[in-house]
Amino acid sequence: MSVHQIETVAEVKEGKIRVVKVPEGEHPLSVREVWVGMVLPCFSELRRHDHVWYADVPMFEALIILKDQNPRAFKYWMNNFDPDVIWESNFSFKEDEVCILSNVTIPMVRLWNEMDGGPYR
């Protein structure tokens, strides 16, 4: 799981995921493993980066849910991130760390052989 800035405000947060595997990341295992089993809102399309698909969860919304389920982990995130980062960033869960529950799609990826001229031929 990583944290990244929201790139566009127009994205729709109507998807739902369940975390099924402890997310990878640089934060302590004790605050990463609490996500397992949680149902979180996410954007309606997975995002691809370095050949890996990610479900992006608004950080603020995830932390509201976490606060009730694990106040200790909630406190960790609040103490380690600036409030502006919390409002403007996402948690990114790898596709194999989550189960898609509803309203999430994988965008179509077009592949072509550059030698054949690509899509503009």
- The residue whose two tokens read 């969860």 is 57
For the segment 96-114, the average pLDDT, to the nearest whole number, is 79
Per-residue model confidence as pLDDT tens digits over 54-78:
999 999 999 999 999 999 999 999 9
Our CA angle for 4, 14, 108, nearest 5°, is 75
Domains of the chain: total: 1
Whether the per-residue pLDDT at 48 is higher than 50: the answer is: yes
| Residue 115: predicted pLDDT | 64
Of 56, 82, 67, 41, residue with least CA distance to 1:
56
pLDDT of 99: 87
- What pTM did the predictor assign? 0.78
Q: What is the mean pLDDT of the chain?
A: 84
Of 13-17, 26-30, 58-62, give the lowest mean pLDDT range.
13-17
Runs of H (alpha helix) within 1-120: 29-32, 59-69, 71-80, 83-88
Domain, as residue range, for 17: 2-120
Cβ pair 45, 104 in contact under 8 A: yes
Query: What is the model's pLDDT at position 14?
Result: 85
Q: Does residue 90 carry a pLDDT above 70?
A: yes
